[in-house]
Structure 1
Amino acid sequence: MGSSWVPWVVALLVTVVRLDSSMTQGRDAPEDFVIQAKADCYFTNGTENVQFVVRFIFNLEEYARFDSNLGMFVALTELGQPDAELWNNRPDILARSRASVDALCRHNYKLGAPFTVGRKVQPEVTVYPERIPALQHHNLLLCSVTGFYPGDIKITWFRNGQEQREGVMSTGLIRNGDWTFQTMVMLAMTPELGEVYTCLVDHPSLLSPVSVEWRAQSEYPWRKMLSGIAAFLVGLVFLLVGIVIHTRARKGPKRSSSSTATLRS
């Protein structure tokens, strides 16, 4: 909400609510009550179609509203009938309320658009299998796309360059709560040696689509890592055994020499 029009809308709402003297005079009103006025702007295709709505609420019940599409105040309950009639007979209030479509809504849209509808954040794309991969065993490939804005995004799976439509599942668009989104698109597959799976992501923040590949291999990194660790441990054991044998071999002659020196004395 732009700071330039905050005092304007507050003045409008206060003026309208003050006219509602019938709410608390001449009626069986409770000792404690709350009167609220809420203003909303609704946009379609940018500012092509703009609707300005002010809702008037008495103790959590909306009793009247102004709708710019109608250009007048409307009573929603019996309580709001005299008030809507009173406000509709005030040309100054009607004129300012109708002008709010441009003075408030369209003006505020121009101020906030660069930080809202114009905001673009590139996605982060990661591809990985659900389980430890093994050739000719059913698995799921997960394409995780996180931290992007806006929510308009297209994610496509390819197998050896051919688009995959069967076996594709999605979590749908998930809001992160910080003006970004995330989603995950899964592909059911049975990998064969040499196959290449590609997750292609197209988003308004990207100059060109981003693709991340996953290749089916006979030896996977985790196996190589385990083999390396095993070889290291075996080498370490042999090294320790060698050090122990060497140390004992050096201690043996020293004890023999010491005994000989004692006998000579």
Structure 2
Amino acid sequence: MTDSRVGKYVGFGEYDMRNAAHYNSQAWKMAESKRQVETLCRYDARLFRRSTLDRLVPPVVKEVRVSWLRDGAEVDADVSSTDTLADGDWSFQLHSYLELTPRRGERVSCRVDHSSLRTSLEVDWDTSSLDAKYLKMTVGIICFFLGFTAAAGGAAYYWWKQRFAFRPLGSQGHTSPRHPSELLIF
């Protein structure tokens, strides 16, 4: 294979390197190779540069359409999009934004229509973060009420214990039993 940067044939394996050495030793073969580089390769490179890289008129892209869907219905309000931006490698990008306050159970999708696609490409927005948010909130509310119930029960028990505190029998006007056999067991 000819490497136009070094102006000679190069090989990458043992067999290719022997062939490259053979071709490099033939003056007519080297002259033909240089002519091909000048007439074909450099001409094509200049033509490519003029038609693509040095082009001053931006390309017009008409084949891409981005739309937003909420529960299957197309949304026109609160949608903003950028112009088509060239990436420099024959690819382009377009940014589209939908401003919304998400609702639980709602299906939000971005639909792309392009000439290279057989059918529209729809990408659903992942609403699992909303479900996790509601799950966290529900668990928090349940824990709050459990804690509140435990605190209220503890306070009621403390109040009851203070109000009806255990007093020795002697302090309530009763006499204490003199012998253990006088205790009543229920």
Report the TM-score when normalising by structure 2. Answer: 0.38
Structure having the higher strand fraction is 1
Report the TM-score when normalising by structure 1. Answer: 0.27
Structure having the higher helix fraction is 2
Structure label with greater radius of gyration? 2
